[in-house]
Homo-oligomer: A and B are copies of this chain.
Amino acid sequence: MTSQAADGPDTVAASRRSKITPEREREFFDAVLEQIRECGYDSVTMEGVAASTRCSKSTLYRQWKTKPQFVAAALRANRRVRFAGIDTGSLAGDLRRAALAAGDWSGKDTRLLQALGHAVTADQELARALREALVDPEIAALEEMLARGVARGEVRAGHPALEYIPAMMFGVLRVRPVLSGQYADSDYLVRFVEAAVLPALGLT
């Protein structure tokens, strides 16, 4: 692959030519996100990221002006929909599949959200990046599932439980570690869907 491939916005500024390949950039992003998960946002240091990727602090500061901007870029680059493309034909099936998929990412995503939890209230850009990367796409995907279920007539439009489903799914995901000390795995989430989410929607 050529060296000038795929410079999107949010990555290296297109105007100045950098020798940082997209792969190298991803190493930086992966490193900083991993350190955030492990030590928390405040405890992550640019020096630590530089050391763990065997680059120099200068290199990082050449690409991103400040630490929050760097982290925000890493978050945005990490954006991806964990349960995109799920469409089993039934709402119950979709929700089960979503639970399954969510379980795979649960630990990493939850730790990241937890670690950024408060940093986000101080920096607007960070907050936006976090929502774009880890929250909004999932919510949108979930709501699409629900909308399809309504369209198919599985749940009547305006069912009171509908508006709470995303909060339930996300909520259980996030508080499991607080309550029981372990992250929500796929098995736990699928059982949750069957024991609570589907009954709440009247889908047995």
Binding site for B on A (CB under 8 A): 39-43, 113-115, 117-119, 121-122, 135, 139, 160-161, 163-164, 166-168, 170-176, 178-179, 191-192, 194-197, 199-200, 202
Contacts and interface: CB of A to CB of B under 8 A. Distances in A.
Contact of A122 (B40, B197, B199): B40
A28 to B, nearest CB: 21
A167 B199 CA distance: 16
A194 B160 contact: yes
A139 B179 contact: yes
Nearest to A184: B167
B202 A160 contact: no
Q: What is the oligomeric copy number? A: 2
Contacts of A179: 135, 139, 166-167, 170
Contact of A172 (B119, B135, B164): B164
Nearest to A193: B164
A173 B178 CA distance: 13
A115 B202 CA distance: 37
A164 B113 contact: no
Contacts of A41: 118
